């Protein structure tokens, strides 16, 4: 993600990127310097190179913060999953579930470069056939094969008519 952030900043400037990272992962990211432990970790990251960085306590807080930022975005805001590992898959599935539950109503797109997401998309189709996911909710995740298609997919995204119409509150007390 650091390379992607650097590339976007080089193309569009530091305000084009806002990364959110849990404190525990800081030592694995971006020119980590152990001498910054105990300091505001976001100050140890070059804004001019990586854009804005918010350091949070844990992964759940990260996902909630990302979702909140996307929800505040304008029309066409949403989530685009690039090729990645366990974390990418977990975040994609959580945002998909949150969409189905009505926690957010933003689009979810997988950028399927060289068929990277083919297996996951086949799993969704199989889960629909087996009755674990409704046909309408099987379309919560949209496939795009090019960045241009991903932008169009977010702009044209329509939520499933079978999403749960639940009311969620940030205050659970």
Instruction: List per-residue pLDDT tens for the chain, 173 residues long.
Output: 778 888 888 998 888 888 888 888 877 765 555 555 555 555 567 788 878 888 899 999 999 999 999 999 888 899 999 999 999 999 999 999 999 999 999 999 999 999 999 999 999 999 999 999 999 999 999 999 999 999 999 999 999 999 987 887 765 44
pTM for the predicted model, two decimal places: 0.84
Residues of the chain with CATH 3.40.50.450: 75-161
Q: What is the spatial distance between Cα 141 and Cα 79, in angstroms, rounded to a whole number?
A: 10
Residue 107's Cβ-count burial label (10 Å; 0-12, 13-18, 19+) is buried
Predicted local distance difference test score (pLDDT) of residue 171: 56
3-state secondary structure of 50: helix
CATH class of 75-161: alpha beta
Write b or e for each residue in 26-57: b if 16 or more Cβ atoms lie within 10 A of its Cβ, otherwise e.
Answer: beebbeeeeeeeeeebbebbeeeebbbbebbe
Q: What is the spatial distance between Cα 96 and Cα 169, in angstroms, rounded to a whole number?
A: 18
Q: What is the spatial distance between Cα 93 and Cα 133, in angstroms, rounded to a whole number?
A: 13
């Amino acid at each position: 993600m650091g390379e992607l952030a650097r590339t976007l900043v080089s193309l569009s400037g530091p305000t084009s990127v806002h990364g959110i990272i849990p404190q525990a992962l800081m030592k694995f990211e971006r020119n980590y310097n152990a001498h910054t432990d105990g300091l505001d970790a976001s100050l140890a990251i070059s804004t001019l190179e990586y854009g804005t960085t918010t350091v949070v306590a844990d992964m759940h807080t990260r996902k909630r913060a990302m979702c909140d930022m996307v929800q505040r975005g304008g029309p066409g805001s949403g989530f685009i999953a690039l090729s990645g590992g366990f974390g990418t898959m977990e975040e994609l599935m959580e945002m998909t579930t949150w969409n189905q539950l009505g926690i957010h109503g933003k689009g979810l797109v997988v950028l399927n470069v060289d068929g990277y997401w083919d297996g996951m998309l086949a799993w969704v189709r199989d889960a629909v056939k087996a009755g674990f996911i409704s046909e309408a909710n099987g379309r919560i995740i949209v496939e795009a094969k090019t960045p241009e298609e991903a932008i169009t997919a977010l702009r044209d995204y329509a939520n499933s008519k079978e999403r749960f119409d639940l009311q969620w509150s940030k205050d659970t007390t």
